[in-house]
């Protein structure tokens, strides 16, 4: 079953934005066919999505549950330029609720770019700044950090998302603020099954290498998506991205440039922004696609269906999954992969 989680950037009662766990926690649980997305809405508070919890609209008592000792430059109403008014927030919320219903219930794949991280902005969301990312949707999990992941390079380390010792955690106390990705399950700490990769560097060009324990077949892939967390309020963090296959062939995917979300010590703004690297054409050799660009932009759409939610289901040709609109090309690709002992659909 697919899902969409809305994360309001100026929340008080649910300040840690723990709803992100409904996205991250789905990885590896099943076949990964359903899309699980999250949208981060800068300047929103969960009370204001409901008119009966909104001051000035509700018949019963209602209040803004965001709190800070001093006026907050991101979230204090009538002070922070990034804080949405109730009507602005409700209009933006209605846009994304409708998009989820249209995709999950109606099977209209045209609205998927609003919630899968494709960096598409709908006019009906008004001035709200909304970002999205998603997992699942029948995509191949290229690398999800776990205890078997190998990380090398100066300043690169595999780290626990939840740890009793802040010195070893991915996000220490010195950073301030928090991350929705690193919310603990109740009082469970450490959590032995949740990892990420932390990167720090003092000079440009410092390499970091991340290697999964098992090889991953990517024959026919046309894009790769990454979720990267950068510190709030930072500008222009730039990363060069490349992949190396099992034969040692290295392909440079391109360059990623990211800005941090607006944040303070009272917000949870260390959130994974999505960027996509897209190839000009698919390769029939596992691990050696021809990539040409990497940017925060719309990815190739092949294979991103929300199966089981009314979207067109792929058809099976041999061991490959083909859609009706690309059946001829897929049959040709299937024939080519069968002729190679190193490739195939998994």
pLDDT tens, residue by residue, 305-319? 222 222 233 333 333
Residue 135 CA to residue 35 CA, distance in Å, equals: 6
pLDDT at 288: 37
Average pLDDT along the chain: 80
**Residues 41-55, mean pLDDT to the nearest whole number:** 96
Gyration radius from the chain CA atoms: 21
Residue 212 CA to residue 148 CA, distance in Å, equals: 7
CB-based contact 89:41 (threshold 8 Å)? yes
DSSP conformation letters of 46-111: GGGGSGGGSTTT-SS--------SS--TTTSTTT-TTPPPHHHHHHHHHHHHHHHHHHHTT--GGG
pLDDT above 70 coverage of the chain, percent: 79
Which tops the pLDDT comparison, 285 or 87? Answer: 87
For β-strands 223-228 and 273-281, DSSP reports them as antiparallel
Q: What is the pLDDT of residues 196-212, one digit of tens each?
A: 999 999 888 899 999 99
Q: What is the pLDDT of residues 160-181, one digit of tens each?
A: 999 988 889 999 876 667 899 9
pLDDT at 339: 31
How does residue 28 score in pLDDT terms, banded at 50, 70 and 90?
A: confident
pLDDT at 119: 83
pLDDT at 309: 28
Interacting residues of 196 by C-beta distance below 8 A, sequence separation 6+: 145, 158, 159, 161, 170, 181, 182, 229
Residue 335 CA to residue 67 CA, distance in Å, equals: 61
Residue 282 CA to residue 225 CA, distance in Å, equals: 15
Query: Tokens at residue 181, please?
Result: 């990705």
pLDDT above 90 coverage of the chain, percent: 56
Which tops the pLDDT comparison, 174 or 36? Answer: 36
pTM of the predicted structure, to 2 decimals: 0.79
**Residues 44-67, mean pLDDT to the nearest whole number:** 95
Q: What is the largest CA-CA distance in the chain?
A: 69
Spell out the domain ranges in the chain.
314-346
pLDDT at 84: 98
Check pLDDT > 50 for residue 125: yes
pLDDT at 174: 63
How does residue 229 score in pLDDT terms, banded at 50, 70 and 90?
A: very high
């Amino acid at each position: 079953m697919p899902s969409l989680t809305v994360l309001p950037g100026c929340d008080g009662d649910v300040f840690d934005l723990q709803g992100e766990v409904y996205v991250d926690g789905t990885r590896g649980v099943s076949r990964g066919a359903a899309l699980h997305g999250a949208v981060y809405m800068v300047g929103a508070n969960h009370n204001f999505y409901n008119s009966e919890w909104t001051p000035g609209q509700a018949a019963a008592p209602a209040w803004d549950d965001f709190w800070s000792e001093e006026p907050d430059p991101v979230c204090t109403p009538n002070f922070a330029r990034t804080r949405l008014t109730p009507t602005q927030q409700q209009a933006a919320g209605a846009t994304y609720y409708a998009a989820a219903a249209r995709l999950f219930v109606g099977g209209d794949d045209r609205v998927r770019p609003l919630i899968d991280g494709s960096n598409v902005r709908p006019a009906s969301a008004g001035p709200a700044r909304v970002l999205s990312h998603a997992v699942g949707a029948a995509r191949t999990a290229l690398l999800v950090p776990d205890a078997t992941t190998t990380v090398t390079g100066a300043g690169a380390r595999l780290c626990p998302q939840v740890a009793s010792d802040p010195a070893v955690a991915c996000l220490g106390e010195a950073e301030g603020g928090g991350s929705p990705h690193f919310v603990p399950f109740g009082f469970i700490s450490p959590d032995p099954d949740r990892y990420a990769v932390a990167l720090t560097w003092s000079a440009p060009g410092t390499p970091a290498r991340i290697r999964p324990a098992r090889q991953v077949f990517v024959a026919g892939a046309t894009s790769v998506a990454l979720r990267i967390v950068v510190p709030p309020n930072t500008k222009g963090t730039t990363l060069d991205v490349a992949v190396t296959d099992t034969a040692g062939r290295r392909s440079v995917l391109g360059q990623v440039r990211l800005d941090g979300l607006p944040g303070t010590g009272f917000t949870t703004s260390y959130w994974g922004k999505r960027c996509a690297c897209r190839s000009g054409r698919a390769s029939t050799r596992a691990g050696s696609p021809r990539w040409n660009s990497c940017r925060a932009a719309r990815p190739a759409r092949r294979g991103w269906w929300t199966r089981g939610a009314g979207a067109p289901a792929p058809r099976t040709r041999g061991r490959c999954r083909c859609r009706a609109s690309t059946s001829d090309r897929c049959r040709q690709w299937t024939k080519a992969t069968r002729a190679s002992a190193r490739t195939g659909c998994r």
